[in-house]
Amino acid sequence: MPTVSDQPEPKSSLSVLKNAKRIVRYVAERCSQPNDFGSFDISIYDTAWLAMIQDPVVPGCWLFPESYSYLLIHQTENGMWPTHGLPMNGILNTLAALLALVKHQKSDTISNNMGNHDPIEAHDVLKRVEKARGALQSALNDCDMNQLLNVGCKMLVPGLLRQLGEEGVVFEFESQSTLATMYQQALAKFDSDDLVFTQPTTLIDSLEAFVDVVDFSLLRNYCSAERGIMGSPASTAAYLVGSPERDARAQAYLENVVRKFGSCGGVPSGFPTLAFEMSWIISTLFSSNFIVEDFRDCNFHAVTQYLRKVISDQGNLHGSVPTCLTDVDDTARCMLALTLLDAHIDQAALINELEERVNHFESYKFKSTTCVSANCSILLMLLTSPNVDQYISQIEKALTLICRCWNAKILQNEKNVTAEHTCMLLTYAMYQLLRVYAQGSLRNVSVDVIETEVPIILIQLLGRTLSEHKGNGSWGDSVERTSFGVLLISYALKLPWPSSIRGHAKAAFFQAKAYLEAHSNEGATGDLIWINKVTYRLPTLAETYCLAAINSSIEEQSWTPEVEQIFGMDANKMNKLASFFGRLPLLQNLLEATMTFAIHEAAMYFKRLKQVRLDIFPRDDMAVSTDKYLQYIPVAWTTINATNGFILSGDEMWEMIVLSMLNYQADEYMESVVARLAETSSQDLAAMIKSEVRNGEPEAKTQVVSSPIKPDRDLSPTPSDFEDIAIVVSKYIRHVKLHPALMQSPKSAQIHVTQELEKFLLAHMAHNSDSARLRKHRQSQGSALVDWHDQVPYYDWARTTGANDTSCPYSFAFFCCLISSDESHCLVSMEQKYLAREMCLHLATLCRQYNDFGSARRDDQEDNLNSLHFPEFTDEDGRGMSCQKTAENTGREDYLEKANVLLMKVAGIERALMQVCWDALSSGLNKEVRAKLKAFIDITDLFGQIYVARDIASKVKR
């Protein structure tokens, strides 16, 4: 691994500074004419709307024929307009462009009024329409409408489909009903007053969806010659198309935009955008080692005066275009920029307006999405406030939302579509939070969030970002995305990470910086990753981020012992865990860096897990050895999540880590406490379990195979002990039944989970009875084999009691609810559910056999029934190889080894059968569900491999 001293020196800091100052001067000079500046590149979508405006003076002619020509030039061979890597781009671009073509096709002046452009024959337009129609139909069929980029798309797609339908162009596709539902849900967020636009809302920014639906004459007070309607060419064009009266201000605005972009007919998705671009440029540069004093000759006075005026004119809230709909993200960025320029502004008015919003800061007023980027900007603004502790409640509100969204993998970013940009913002916000905390502030913020949740998120942000780092030093072969990655690492490494984490991150940092320096001439190009309604390039910010990244450093700050302890790890223990897990077959191909991050992520989960280990089971009062499995459980989940592309969210990971711990504890409790109950008490407990689980549900037969007998020990609990046991078991059952993942699932799914839970608990009791029978026989017969003539065959036992008490079927049913959307289930058909049950049965049986292979010695010492105790595991002469005691007492260890080999052969059969079921099941699942269920299979398999390598279960003290 390269060290810091091995890295090439970066380009002259003077060169970087010179270019940064050039950008700042460039935007500062535009402060005198802010309505004539914008760097967004041309948008097909917005251009299409200009192509639909008829000339108000010359009947039958078009106001912007050059925009129509621009559309024709950029239609692709397949009939669509460019997607730029995002299906929704292509759909929106093609919907609008096709609508423009249809309108022109119906016009009597198709071949006229083309200015200096070549006329287009009517039959050529018809061919283009049909080609676009067919391509769009295919795109709609293939698109997941749940992945619409923003709330505007939920309005625009159905709105444009409606207008095309009115022109005779009708589409039908599978997710149409889903889209219609989303459209109605979006509309339901607004009352009737909003629908006539009595105040600014996102609807005004999406006027294209309401042509011929809303009286646009009500919008005249939102239009200006400088900014049109909300600074949106598409909305302004739609306003002109649908307005009963011509508004000269809207026309003047659009004509100005066309001129500013070279009169080619193409226009951007937003104009003017000086406030937006300036805020992000300033806040980005001065968050990455640039010093304000070095820019004193860049007319910061003009910059600060302009930004102050923008906020003042907007009543504290502003959007990317002054006098447009209020955008909290841009406002926070503007205030952050002013703070970094030592030009503080009173935040009270902004905070007061936002305070009425209960759970989070929304990006736009009345917007139904939860925007992580906006809350990061809000958090940064508050953390840089000179009186930060005044805003504790607001900081907690934003922080809670950010953590919740990250843990749920809901990373809505209203500005940029890349994961790197969102993760960079999150990392910087978390770093600043800990920096302020280390200075003695924020002492009323939840300690658990500061010391547990935030560090977990930080290591996940860093580890997942590094996992996408390419061998050439880039992220996605993109200068802009690589800039985001470099900045993320630079922010993260200011924290006191262990040396192993720092080593991997440093290597990636210097490699990525070398890539940026080698491609610095591409820095001002930018990628189509910024988002309005469709994606666009933003060259000014692309170059800003590149310069900020090249200028960044990874120098660790000085931290208080309190913060250092949060990130402290036992290096020796981490290395041992990495070595052990790296030898397991499922993880042998995991990269060293990925394993390192997974181990350290698990260590942070382990700290959190210790806080809840006694929430249900009184483990410290039980006669069992140390719960060493507690440290293995988080590692198993973090490593398997890494091998599966981090498909599981933080919430899903944590819930399954807790469930895995509870499964181990339930197993311990059943073997060490419940097993000591007398037969009548056991029967009473079984009845209580059924009643508690079913809670009024009709009684169903529970398939467990047992031979209950009365334990012959003097340790049977007293009546008061029985009551304590019943309370603990009831608490466990209620924990599962009342879990939010179940409560939001369909009733049938809830019943399935509780049925499997009942089988799990009763199977443990049946297993206890079988073990007691084994123990009694040994006490009377010595180490001789049990007379099994009245015992069920191993095949039946392994698939009932043996499989059910592994917790695999119950955990799988719970996991399916956990990964499902609200009020739905990931397994939708009867066939899928049947295959899943069959697959899970083989998986559970496989789990039992691996478990018994690893725990054979402990089970034999504790007289706990193991697969190898069954008579099927005998030699060719029928002599017993069934237990460790027998083998040791007779000197026949070789027979025991043969039994183990036979057990693994049987496990191989179960694996093959499981794979057949999985192949049949997975082919009909959607990509995300398939990947998550695969992770569950792998984690179950991994626990089996752990048992083969090392018995991590606790020993019952006799």
pLDDT for the residue 891: 52
Q: Is the pLDDT of residue 504 over 70?
A: yes
- What residues pair up with 874 in beta bridges, in sequence order? 880
Tokens of residue 629, six digits: 């499995």
DSSP line for 667-688: HHHHHHTGGGS-HHHHHHHHHH
Q: Which residues have a Cβ under 8 Å from the Cβ of 799 and sit 6 or more positions away?
A: 841, 845
pLDDT for the residue 437: 97
Query: What is the distance between the alpha carbons of residues 836 and 918, in angstroms, rounded to a whole number?
Result: 8
pLDDT for the residue 620: 86
pLDDT for the residue 860: 83
Query: Residue 593 — pLDDT band, cuts 50, 70, 90?
Result: very high
Q: Is the pLDDT of residue 697 over 60?
A: no
pLDDT for the residue 320: 52
Q: Is the pLDDT of residue 195 over 80?
A: no
Query: What is the distance between the alpha carbons of residues 767 and 956, in angstroms, rounded to a whole number?
Result: 15
Closest to 515 (Cα-Cα) out of 554, 488, 476, 553 = 476
As a whole number, mean pLDDT of residues 407-414 equals 88
pLDDT for the residue 315: 59
As a whole number, mean pLDDT of residues 876-902 equals 63
Tokens of residue 335, six digits: 């205030």
Closest to 938 (Cα-Cα) out of 710, 638, 666, 662 = 638
**Residue % of the chain over a pLDDT of 70:** 85
Task: Tell me what the pLDDT averaged over the chain comes to.
Answer: 86
pLDDT for the residue 358: 36
Q: Is the pLDDT of residue 454 over 80?
A: yes
Contact 511, 524 (CB under 8 A): no
Cα torsion 676, 681, 686, 690: sign: negative
Contact 253, 225 (CB under 8 A): yes
pLDDT for the residue 247: 94
Contact 550, 10 (CB under 8 A): yes
Q: Is the pLDDT of residue 359 over 50?
A: no
Q: Is the pLDDT of residue 8 over 50?
A: no
Burial (CB < 10 A; 0-12, 13-18, 19+), residue 541, is buried
CA-atom Rg of the chain in angstroms: 33
Q: Is the pLDDT of residue 879 over 50?
A: yes
Q: Is the pLDDT of residue 277 over 50?
A: yes
Contact 677, 711 (CB under 8 A): yes
Q: Is the pLDDT of residue 284 over 50?
A: yes
Q: Is the pLDDT of residue 924 over 70?
A: yes
- What residues pair up with 364 in beta bridges, in sequence order? 327
- What residues pair up with 880 in beta bridges, in sequence order? 874
Tokens of residue 658, six digits: 């807790």
Q: Is 436 helix (H, G, I), strand (E, B) or coil?
A: helix
Which stretch, 86-100, 134-148, 329-343, has highest mean pLDDT? 86-100
Task: Identify residue 560 by its one-letter amino acid code.
Answer: T
Higher-pLDDT residue of 326 and 922 is 922
Q: Is the pLDDT of residue 463 over 90?
A: yes
Task: Identify residue 367 by its one-letter amino acid code.
Answer: K
For β-strands 228-229 and 267-268, DSSP reports them as: unpaired
pLDDT for the residue 108: 53
Closest to 439 (Cα-Cα) out of 601, 558, 524, 538 = 558
DSSP line for 795-861: HHHHHTHHHHTTTHHHHHHHHHHHTSPTT--S--SHHHHHHHHHHHHHHHHHHHHHHHHHTHHHHHH
Q: Is the pLDDT of residue 892 over 70?
A: no
Which stretch, 306-310, 685-689, 890-894, has highest mean pLDDT? 685-689
Q: Is the pLDDT of residue 192 over 50?
A: no
- In 10 A of CB 561, how many CB atoms? 9
pLDDT for the residue 952: 85
CA distances (Å), 680 to each of 100, 589, 605, 670, in order?
81, 52, 41, 16
Cα maximum dimension of the chain: 110
Query: Residue 714 — pLDDT band, cuts 50, 70, 90?
Result: very low
Q: Tell me the pLDDT tens digit for each residue of 20-32.
A: 999 999 999 999 9
Beta strands in 795-894 (DSSP E): none
Which stretch, 5-19, 241-255, 854-868, has highest mean pLDDT? 241-255
Tell me the angle at which helices 13-29 and 539-551 cross, rounded to the nearest 10 degrees.
Answer: 150
Tokens of residue 775, six digits: 């123990």
CA distances (Å), 247 to each of 234, 323, 637, 745, in order?
15, 18, 61, 52
pLDDT for the residue 149: 54
> Which residue is associated with the tokens 């183990």?
900
Q: Which residues have a Cβ under 8 Å from the Cβ of 811 and sit 6 or more positions away?
A: 656, 659, 660, 663, 936
pLDDT for the residue 625: 84
Task: Identify residue 102 by its one-letter amino acid code.
Answer: V
- Residue 956 is given by DSSP the state B
pLDDT for the residue 123: 63
Query: Residue 701 — pLDDT band, cuts 50, 70, 90?
Result: very low
Q: Is 318 helix (H, G, I), strand (E, B) or coil?
A: strand
pLDDT for the residue 529: 95
pLDDT for the residue 707: 35
